[in-house]
Each structure stands twice: as structure tokens, then as C-alpha cells.
Amino acid sequence: MLEAVVYNREQSRLELLDQTLLPVETRTVFCKTEQETAKAIVDMQVRGAPAIGVAAAYGIVLGLNNPQNHGKPFKTAFGEICDLLAGTRPTAVNLFWAIDRMKKALAGCSDFAAAAAVALDEADAIKTEDIEMCRIIGRFGASLLKNGETWLTHCNAGALATAGYGTALGVFRAAQEQGKQFKVFVDETRPLLQGARLTAWEMVQEKIDATLICDNMAGGLIRDGKVQGVVVGADRITAHGFVANKIGTYPLAVLAKYNGVPFYVAAPDSTFDMTIKYGEEIKIEERDHDEVRYIGGQQVAPKEIKVYNPAFDVTPPELITAIITNKGIIRPIYRDTIPQFIGAGTTVREVGA
């Protein structure tokens, strides 16, 4: 199984598959400190909401083992490590979920060495649980994909974006494991081409029948009846079902709704932010303008042109057919079903079906 985030216990380092170089080059980034981990997250060498959360958890381990922090009081140093990692990317809630979970696990610690051991166990648990959640999401999602259908996906919500297996792409992996015959259209996903570079690469690795398209080709395909379902990942889902995901997700949802095509979101329960209700409450990250002016280091627009580069948009619940989670399928998406569902403990079921 592909793993983009690996902690090497023997070397006491975090090993990240550098996603800025794929598919041309496969290179591992080695992080020995929390600062290196934070930089890897900001630079998107590791990306995808669940993967960012896992990387941050291991970043805390590295910070606790970093001798430069040992001259400070434990609580001061620990707080600074967490703040550094929390400040890397603002939209993906899994980042803050993982950091908060690490804080709870280390609440009774006051010694660096003991805390680092506890932190490593907790980070390992977060990673293991994420892989299992993705496998469950995949099985639930595969139940919606009928034999012979063609679906479309946007950005990368695969093994590269998680601890392994994937959320949206986990649906296709599970369907393939079940022996289903299907096809996938892959949006290129401008400006950083996560679909073209990453999802297409994963599909080739898994030998899944996939076709790469430019983003602006999706509408015609959906209109012409060549797409029977759309599935995407998520970076944050509010208590009322507003979904923040890679920029370009919202127009796909509108197209799907207008043409009567099911639009699904696949995400673990750690992606739900139950502290907010509406989409406008989500902080949307705006990234470097040169991500739009350049493609693969090649300038494609005037340096002087102004650029607007939000990394995410928000899709309202009325455009979403169902949310596929590790606890089952939430359908319909109403303000009452999500709190009921997320508060359901380990119960696995389909709400509202």
C-alpha cells in the first residue's frame, strides 16, 4: 500500500513522499525537526487534509525530541511546537484535530523524553486509524458505484492525501477489489494540477481505467451523460453540511445538480468541524500568486498581472447527494442529520435512507 507519510523510528525522522515532484520524480523528504515538518506542509510536499494531520502529529514528536527546545519549560516548548504546526495551513480541519488530540494525549506530561514516547504512540494511532477509516469509507462508497458506470473526481483524495488508501479514491480502490468494472474521469485541477500529477499517477499505479481531462471539459461530459457520479474529498465540513474542498469543487457540484448526476463527498469524521455551521465561517487559504502565473516552473502569464488564488471553495449541502464517512453514508444532508451522525459513537449506519 502506498504511504506518503512514514515515521522512521530507527532514524527518528519523518519521511514524506515529495508530492511537488510527482509524477516525474519520486523523492523522499526527510524531516528531523518540527520546523522542517512545518515547511513541508506549507510547501505542499505533503498535502491532503488527513495526511497533513498525520504529518503534524509526527512533527510534534520531532519537536519534543529536538534538543533546541529542551532549554525551555516543557509547557512553553510544547505550546510553541503546536502553534508552529497549526499555523501552516488554515483550512484543513484535520490539522487542528490532530494537534488537539496530541495535546489531550500529552496533558499529563512534563518531561520531554516521556512525552515524546507518548506522542509517538499517539501519532502512530492516528495514522493507523486513518488508514482503517479510509478502507471503511471505500467500502461504503463502492456500494454506490454500479457496475459499468463512469465517475468523475477532482483534485487528489487518494493514498497521497491520507495515511494510505484514500477517501474519494478509496471508493475506486474498494470497487476494484470487489471486482466491479468502471471508469474514472480525472480533472487536472489547476493551478497545481493535483489531479493530473497525483490522482492520474495513483490510477496508473493501481491499474484503474482512468482518463485525464482539463477542468473545463467536465461540464460537457456531464451534460452528455458520460458521467454517472462525482466523488470528491473534503478539507472541512461544517455541522450543517457545508463542504470546503479544492477550488473547482463547487462548480462541479452545480453541474452535477443541474444535470441530475449524484454528487458525493468522501471524508472521515475527523474532517467535520462541529464548532461552525455555515460556509462563510470557514477560513479559505489564499496561496502564492505565482502558482497561477507559472506551471511547472514555466511562466504562462505576465508577471505584472494581478492574481486571485484561493486554494478552496465551499459547496452548500443542497448540492450534495450524500457524504460518505467511516461511520456510513449521511443522506440527506440536513442540519439535524450531521450532528446526530457524528455523535453516534461507533454506530455504523446510513442516516435518512
Altogether, the residues listed in the chain come to a count of: 353
Instruction: Annotate 188-255 with DSSP letters as a single string.
Output: --TTTTHIIIIIHHHHHHHT--EEEE-GGGHHHHHHTT--SEEEE--SEEETT--EEEETTHHHHHHH
* Contact criterion met (CB below 8 Å) for 253 and 318: no
Q: What are the φ and ψ backbone dihedral angles of 278, each rounded to 5 degrees?
A: -115, 160
Per DSSP bridges, beta strands 5-8 and 13-17 are antiparallel
Residue type, 337: T
CA dist 311 to 245, 284, 306, Å? Answer: 8, 7, 16
Phi, psi of 159 (to 5 degrees): -60, -30
CB atoms within 10 A of CB 87: 12
Rounded distance between C-alpha atoms, residue 241 and residue 230, angstroms? 17
Nearest residue to 196 via CA among 187, 204, 206, 207: 187
Per DSSP, 158 falls in state B
Q: Which of 235, 269, 273, 290 is catalytic?
A: 235
Q: What angle (nearest 5°) sits at the alpha carbon of residue 18, between those of residues 15 and 19?
A: 135
Say whether 18 is catalytic.
no
In the numeric block, which cell numbers belong to residue 96? 487542528
* Geometric angle at alpha carbon 141, from 183 and 162, rounded to 5°: 90
Q: Which residues pair with 213 in a beta bridge?
A: 187
- Active-site residues, by number, are 235
